[in-house]
Each structure stands twice: as C-alpha cells, then as structure tokens.
Amino acid sequence: MIITIFFGRTQKYNTPPKIMDKPLIVVNFKTYESASGVSALELAKSMDNFSDRKFRLVAVTSAFDLSTIASQTNNLEVWSQHLDPVGKGSFTGWLEPSNAISSGASGTIINHAEHKVSIEHVKNLMAMLPDDFPICACAADVEEAIALAKLNPTFIAVEPPELIGGDISVTTADPTIVSDTVAAVKSTNSNVRVLCGAGVKNGQDVKMAIQLGAEGVLLASGVTKATDVNSVLDDLTS
C-alpha cells in the first residue's frame, strides 16, 4: 500500500480497481422537475442500465432523493450535491456529512457555480470526510482550480459559469480552459483528476473532453432534460 499525504489530506492506494481507471460521466440532477422525486429514481435507473460500459456513471442527486436512489440502483454511484462541514447538533438547514453517508452517498460535489462556498469551507469539509470518499470540487477557472488542487480533492471539475446550461459545450467554446486546467492542476497536485463541464450534451463532447486531457465530464440538462434519456445515455457512453 502507498500512503500519500498532500496538503493535509491522506490518500491510500491499493492496486486500484478497474472502475477507478474509467473516465467519469457525472450527471447533476440539480432540482429539475424531470430529475426530482419519482422522476429522479426513473432517471437513475436508466443510468444504472448503462453502468456496465467503459465509463463510470455517477448520479448527483438531491438530498431528498439520495437514499431512495442509492437503495434502488445496483451499480450506479450516488453523490450528494453539497455538504457542509458541520457535525451532529444545532445546525438547522445544513447538510451534515455522516448523515449523507449513512443515507447512501458515496461521494459529493462541492463549490458548484450555483452553490459557491469558500476555500475554508472545502478544506474543513474534506477534513471531516473519509479518505476514500470521492470529493469533486468545482472551479470556474484555472486560478480557482489551482487553489482547490492544493487541498487535494479527488476530482476538480472546471466549469465556466457562462456556459452552464447552454447549448455550446466548453470543449467547443473554450477548449483551452480545459487543457490549461488539466496542465495547471497536474503541475500543482498530480493526484487530482480533472473533469470538465458546462454545455456538455453528447458523446462527441465527451470524446473531445478526454482528448483535451480531462478524465470525464460533469453535465446536467443534457441528460436531465432530454426527451429520450436512454438514447442520450447510449450516445454518451458509447
């Protein structure tokens, strides 16, 4: 076993399972009507049907749906959309990490453009989480990605805010931010894997992201608002 300590976070590595080597397709359910409640479970089950392909599929769900989805899917990873660095006690409205984990969360995103937090928030949260609990910290640009990389999260997802939810993928509109972020993060902390997001819609966008050096994508409306979810998932994972 190799144990690496970097900027306060410990990462332990046995021989990594093959799934860890797969590129990721991370789908953020947000609070879309088409990805909430019963619809969230239906979408997650559709994703689960494609989880045996060459990509590692992750559903990032509402805290209200997390337990149901985690218990009723087989191979799909289920992450939280946000967590707070608080313990048990008087923390009304906060998302306490151990409760999320006991409910089935196997990872989390943090600092999404729609729910920004401070670097201190990310640092304190990471200190509370198990070393093998994946953390994907979102960054708006290269500078923020570098700052986050120093904390040693599992993943950093670069998403230019102006492209989120749009029809043009970051891989087309601003490919250099992807390649530049990969280079900057790897030079800062080679342990961190880089994802890209904003406007990602199809398999071609995924292929381009990987060609630019990313190890997967973070997307939302391209899946959650799709008319034919299975067709979109088939294309993304082909």
Q: Which of 77, 82, 144, 159 is catalytic?
A: 159
Pairwise CA distance, residues 17 & 14, whole Å: 9
In a 13 Å sphere around the CA of 77, the CA atoms on its Cβ side amount to: 22
Length of the chain: 238
Q: Which of 112, 143, 162, 215 is catalytic?
A: 112
Measure Cα distances from 96 to 7, 100, 129, 139, 151 in Å: 23, 7, 11, 23, 20
Whether residue 112 lies in the annotated active site: yes
User: Which letter does DSSP use for residue 23 in this model?
Assistant: P
What is the SS3 assignment for 99? helix
Whether residue 115 lies in the annotated active site: no
**Strand pairing partners for 10?**
5
DSSP H helical segments within 107-174, as ranges?
119-128, 142-149, 170-173
Which residues belong to the active site? 112, 159
